[in-house]
Amino acid sequence: MTLTDWFNKRKMQQIAARDNDVHIDDSIGKLWTLCYNCSSQLPKKDLENNLMVCPNCDYHFRIGARQRIDLISDKDSFCEMYQEIKPCDPLNFVDTQSYPSRQEAAHAKSGLDDAVVVGTCTIEGQKTAIAVMDFEYMGGSMGSVVGEKITRILEYALLNKLPSIVFTASGGARMQESALSLMQMAKTSCIVAKLNEAKLLYITVLTEPTFGGVTASFGTIGDIIIAEKGARIGFAGRRVIEQTIRQKLPADFQTAEYLLKCGQIDFIVERKDMKEKLSKLIYLHTKK
């Protein structure tokens, strides 16, 4: 046996061993989850009962759009709008997979038609227009559908003089729609300009993670910008910055806490306090 053979054999054994581990994890995985932050094994039920926040270290797990809506809106008050808007493939984009097949996979994974759910709800009795992004659908990337649905719900808020809240969770623009996705940044910012002029409250809540095109458009032009605890928020990705400036970044760089120190956000909220904080803010800005 040559040395290379020996290494190959060892590698194969390691891969086989890893596969076995995964198998074992799967059966446990149904009941237990590993906290990404403190690595403690958490019973899934406990985690769910704790709003998907690690009871040991307060790490906020990402949550889906529907779950988020349940957390902040009054029971059964959410009325979804513009569900009929669905993605297509204007550029016939194919990378290692075609765009339509990525859309299908994302739909299967998230149960959504695109990366945002919009509608109206009441928050402690106050009617509000909301848009909630979902990272599970293609990394929450912004394409034509996300841009259009956010624009429409904000137009609805404008027309009906409602306060509005957008929850962001996005890796950035949707590359599969190229310049069309870039233009969604302009489109969504233009409607925020109209809300400003109509003096209607527009709040953005930046959740884990918010990057790229969303940070550089409707995400950071809220009258009030809130970040959820621990969320990573930035324009460029950490790796890109490290490669550009050729140095390691501080561990807490681009976290909500770091941005608060830099004066980029108004305050940080823990998930359990989110509804109450939003409700108070709306009340303080809209009471006569």
164 sits near another protein (criterion: CB under 8 A): no
Interface pick for another protein out of 34, 47, 71, 180 (rule CB under 8 A): 180
Give the contact letters, 191-220, x = binds to another protein (CB under 8 A), - = no: xxxx-xx--------------xx-xxxxxx
Residue whose token pair is 């709008």? 81
251 sits near another protein (criterion: CB under 8 A): no
- CB nearer to another protein: pick between 106 and 192: 192
Identify whether the C-beta of residue 192 lies closer than 8 Å to the C-beta of residue 157. Answer: no
- Distance, in Å, from the CA atom of 206 to the CA atom of 212, rounded to the nearest integer, reads 12
Q: How far is the CB of 115 from another protein (least distance, A)?
A: 13
Identify whether the C-beta of residue 202 lies closer than 8 Å to the C-beta of residue 223. Answer: yes
For residue 258, the one-letter residue type is Y
Identify whether the C-beta of residue 133 lies closer than 8 Å to the C-beta of residue 115. Answer: yes
Q: How far is the CB of 137 from another protein (least distance, A)?
A: 14
- CB nearer to another protein: pick between 187 and 275: 187
Interface pick for another protein out of 22, 24, 251, 262 (rule CB under 8 A): 262
Interface pick for another protein out of 95, 108, 287, 288 (rule CB under 8 A): 95
Q: Which stretch binds another protein (CB under 8 A): 19-27, 40-48, 118-126, 176-184?
A: 176-184
Identify whether the C-beta of residue 95 lies closer than 8 Å to the C-beta of residue 146. Answer: no
Interface pick for another protein out of 19, 26, 76, 84 (rule CB under 8 A): 84
96 sits near another protein (criterion: CB under 8 A): yes
Q: Which of residues 22-51 bind another protein (CB under 8 A)?
A: none
Q: Which stretch binds another protein (CB under 8 A): 11-19, 92-100, 120-128, 269-277?
A: 92-100
Identify whether the C-beta of residue 81 lies closer than 8 Å to the C-beta of residue 120. Answer: yes
156 sits near another protein (criterion: CB under 8 A): no
Structure tokens at 191: 């409607």
Interface pick for another protein out of 129, 157, 185, 203 (rule CB under 8 A): 185
Q: What is the DSSP letter of 236?
A: S
Interface pick for another protein out of 1, 3, 22, 179 (rule CB under 8 A): 179
Q: Is 130 helix (H, G, I), strand (E, B) or coil?
A: strand
Interface pick for another protein out of 51, 81, 241, 260 (rule CB under 8 A): 241
Identify whether the C-beta of residue 184 lies closer than 8 Å to the C-beta of residue 154. Answer: no
Q: Is 209 helix (H, G, I), strand (E, B) or coil?
A: strand
- Distance, in Å, from the CA atom of 240 to the CA atom of 84, rounded to the nearest integer, reads 37
Cα 85–Cα 193–Cα 201 angle in degrees, nearest 5: 85
Structure tokens at 245: 């400036």
Neighbours of 123 (CB within 10 A): 23
Q: How far is the CB of 146 from another protein (least distance, A)?
A: 9
Size of the site for another protein (CB under 8 A): 61
Neighbours of 69 (CB within 10 A): 19
φ, ψ for residue 229, nearest 5 deg: -50, 130
190 sits near another protein (criterion: CB under 8 A): yes
Bond before 209 cis per omega within 30 degrees: yes
Which residues form the interface with another protein (CB under 8 A)?
84-88, 90-91, 93-96, 143-145, 147-148, 151, 173-175, 177-187, 189-194, 196-197, 212-213, 215-221, 234-237, 240-241, 244-245, 249, 253-254, 262, 264
